[in-house]
Amino acid sequence: MFKTDIYINRRNVLRNLVPSGVVLFLGHTESPVNYAGNTYRFRQDSNFLYFFGLNLPHLAGVIDVEEGTDCIYADEPDIEDIIWTGNLPSMEQIAAQAGINSVSPYRDLRIKLLSAIRKGRKIHFTPPYRGDSKIILSELLGIRIGELGNYSSKVLIKAIVQLRSEKEPCEIEEIERACDTGYEMHTLAMRLCKPGIFEYQITGAMEGVAGAANGMPSFPSIQSQNSEILHNHNHNNILRSGKMLVTDAGAETYMGYASDFTRTIPVDGKFTARQLDIYNIVLEANNLAQEISKPGEFYYNVHIAAAKIIAEGLKSVGLMKGDVEDAVRCGAHALFFPHGLGHMMGLDVHDMENIGEKYVGYDDEIQRSSQFGTANLRLGRKLKKNFVLTVEPGIYFIPALIAKWKSEKINSSFINFQKVGEYIDFGGIRLEDNIVITDEGCRRLGKRRIPITQEEVEEEMSK
Ligand code: GLY
Ligand code: MN
Ligand code: MN
């Protein structure tokens, strides 16, 4: 946990942003894999972690705005618990770490909430996303499960986005730690990669690095020699000469903070000239995005600038044609770059996505585009100092998408479909780094950049 004052201060700021009512944060329960006693590794809800820091199952935190009180609802471990899990501090001692001196039995939570509801007071909660939390919340508040989202508090959501978007120094330190583990994961993958081994051999070794750093992967690793598939969790292929291996993976620290990196490397350890042509376009887009990301800049504009680099580069190899500005305005680049340039990152790899991207990545100044490709941009709003985000441009040759655009003549004035046909087996390339916005620009996170130039990648792979 961070120092106690951090949590007290966060709750005090929240209290100033939510003018009245009772704010309820449900912590997570254990989640069974295949029977109740065999559980997934416990992961606390990120909002609960942010405001209370307590990494234990079956807790609830309540902030009563008018009363000015904070309370943890939890059951004391009984003798059965102690036999199996050993002695635990009392709940009073645990709650004190978060600066809370009021602990009540979990069953009293219902009484507290019902009494507030009877007085006509507002219960603020975020939209639940786990089945068990939905059930608990539904029973506590008497709201049908399917209706819970409609009753979630926009005031609370906006307050949380305001607080969690600008990372504190202690959070940035923790994210740097996750990035350093990410560096070790990716460089290990580079050293292991060679024709003839299974993808899962690399995935398993790489994910072990996150465990050995006392954490875990920040999301199920994406690793595939079918590198044109954006999110592939199947690792059963034997690596073949001539292919490229995409690895999109990061670490989550013990405290719950994420990193999220992507590298794409030649299975043979050396890029072909054709691979390098496309690779260097993606690298240029990544570098340009980092050069221009700064406070006050809309990330939407950074996305569009990266898209123009991609369109320009693809035009120079004969895959696109026509005016680059027009091509990007029409969304023609999205045949090759169908996703967004990046997203917020913090306690969640897609930070706060569970409370709504429209609040996290967009605001009154800018709304999400509906154009194919750019519609997938999770973060479009103006950047501010201490935002932490990813920069992840890519170029992919997705056979089904190419076939659709070709047959429907979509953006055919900007795409050289004949030439694209020569790249149908090429795969895809994505290069992802993590940055923090500074006073005047941005800074890449992690002690060292994961090898990214041709020379750096080939050297690491030769080790
Ligand atoms: N790890 C998925 C992404 O890069 O957004
Ligand atoms: Mn990623
Ligand atoms: Mn990402």
**pLDDT for 374-430, tens place per residue?**
999 999 999 999 999 999 999 999 999 999 999 999 999 999 999 999 999 999 999
The closest-lying atom of ligand 1 relative to the alpha carbon of residue 350 is 5
Domain of residue 153, residue span: 4-165
Are residue 282 and residue 313 in the same domain, yes or no?
Answer: yes
Q: Which of 109, 139, 165 is where one domain is finished?
A: 165
Are residue 192 and residue 156 in the same domain, yes or no?
Answer: no
- Summarised one tens digit per residue, pLDDT across range 268-308 is 999 999 999 999 999 999 999 999 999 999 999 999 999 99
Other beta carbons within 10 angstroms of residue 92's beta carbon come to 14
Query: What is the structure's pLDDT at 88?
Result: 85
Q: Which of 165, 185, 211 is where one domain is finished?
A: 165
Are residue 139 and residue 188 in the same domain, yes or no?
Answer: no
How would residue 255 be classed by pLDDT, with cut points 50, 70 and 90? very high
Structure tokens at 156: 């609370």
Segment 348-360 shows an average pLDDT of: 97
Are residue 379 and residue 417 in the same domain, yes or no?
Answer: yes
Segment 207-225 shows an average pLDDT of: 98
Query: What is the structure's pLDDT at 59?
Result: 98
Strand partners, 416: none
Are residue 181 and residue 272 in the same domain, yes or no?
Answer: yes
Structure tokens at 293: 């990301």
Are residue 113 and residue 179 in the same domain, yes or no?
Answer: no
Are residue 353 and residue 394 in the same domain, yes or no?
Answer: yes
385: which DSSP letter?
T
Are residue 389 and residue 350 in the same domain, yes or no?
Answer: yes
* 106 within ligand 1 shell (Cβ under 6 A): no
Are residue 190 and residue 150 in the same domain, yes or no?
Answer: no
Are residue 292 and residue 158 in the same domain, yes or no?
Answer: no
- Summarised one tens digit per residue, pLDDT across range 304-340 is 999 999 999 999 999 999 999 999 999 999 999 999 9
* 460 within ligand 1 shell (Cβ under 6 A): no
355: which DSSP letter?
G
Query: What is the structure's pLDDT at 85?
Result: 86
Query: What is the structure's pLDDT at 81?
Result: 87
Q: How far is the CA of 422 from the centre of ligand 1 (A)?
A: 28
The distance in angstroms from the start CA to the end CA of the chain is 38
User: Tokens 């740097």, residue?
Assistant: 176
Q: How far is the CA of 393 from the centre of ligand 1 (A)?
A: 11
Q: Which of 139, 165, 191 is where one domain is finished?
A: 165
Segment 201-208 shows an average pLDDT of: 98
In this structure, what CATH number is given to the domain that contains residue 101?
A: 3.40.350.10
**Number of domains comprising the chain:** 2
Which of 353, 389, 432, 435 has most ligand 1 atoms within 8 Å of its beta carbon, as the pocket-test mutant? 432
d(C-alpha 312, C-alpha 184), whole Å:
34
Are residue 278 and residue 423 in the same domain, yes or no?
Answer: yes
In this structure, what CATH number is given to the domain that contains residue 265?
A: 3.90.230.10
Which of 223, 252, 262 has most ligand 1 atoms within 8 Å of its beta carbon, as the pocket-test mutant? 262
User: Where is 23: in which H helix or E strand?
Assistant: strand 22-26
Are residue 291 and residue 345 in the same domain, yes or no?
Answer: yes
